[in-house]
Amino acid sequence: MIDLQLFKNIIKEGRHNTDLLDSYSPNQFKTKQKLEDMIHNHVDINSKSDIVIFGCWYGSILIPMFKEARRITLIDTDDVVMRISKNRLFSHYKNVNLDYVIDDVFNWAPTAKRIKWCDLIINTSCEHMRPMKELNLNTNAYFAYTSNNMFDIKGHVNCVNNIEEFKKQLPDTAKVLSENEVTDERGSRYLIVGKYEKSNI
């Protein structure tokens, strides 16, 4: 069912914000819907679920996809998009606790108990940051990561040439459960869903 209030919020904000509209592009929907299907094949998302999203941007598509969760923690360095998401897009979402953290994942994540004990980590912005293996996460969480081979786009500092190269950026504690590839006119996006195996150290 269409969320009429969210639709109104998008129209109002999108009149002067093309960046927001880009977050709802057909290519964004295509990739994230495929990722959602992959996630639901392995993870039971319910009213007790705790999800953390790295590099969330506006959370445009992912927040509505997983709004049945208990809590979604959104982490991004861009305070402008975070304020828009919190105050202009999803302020009417009352059944899920949306927690906005304005910080670099690599500063905040290593010592964060919320990441350690969450059920699912999502990162659809791997091309914008250092490899996930550099986080050294000590968790049993599931993960859903995407990257791409679109090297010529501004802000893409860590693209990969193929999905095998992408998997090499995962830590040793990450077990891949499924993988996929989505193509569009600009290149290929690589999707991985898996699970971390928590260290006993």
In a domain, 10, yes or no: yes
pLDDT value of position 51 = 98
pLDDT value of position 2 = 76
d(CA 107, CA 85): 22
Helix (H) or strand (E) holding 62: helix 62-65
**Per-residue model confidence as pLDDT tens digits over 29-87:** 999 999 999 999 999 999 999 999 999 999 999 999 999 999 999 999 999 999 999 99
pTM above 0.75, yes or no: yes
Q: For residues 181 and 190, is the Cβ–Cβ distance under 8 A?
A: yes
With 70 as the cut, is the pLDDT of residue 9 above it? yes
The 3-state DSSP composition of the chain as helix, strand, coil percent (nearest 5) reads: 35, 25, 40
Span 112-127, mean pLDDT? 94
Q: For residues 175 and 142, is the Cβ–Cβ distance under 8 A?
A: no
Give the total number of structural domains in the chain. Answer: 1
In a domain, 79, yes or no: yes
In a domain, 33, yes or no: yes
In a domain, 12, yes or no: yes
In a domain, 201, yes or no: no
Q: Which residues contact 108 (CB under 8 A, 6 or more apart)?
A: 75, 101
Q: Quote the domain boundaries for residue 177.
A: 4-196
CATH number of the domain that residue 181 is part of: 3.40.50.150
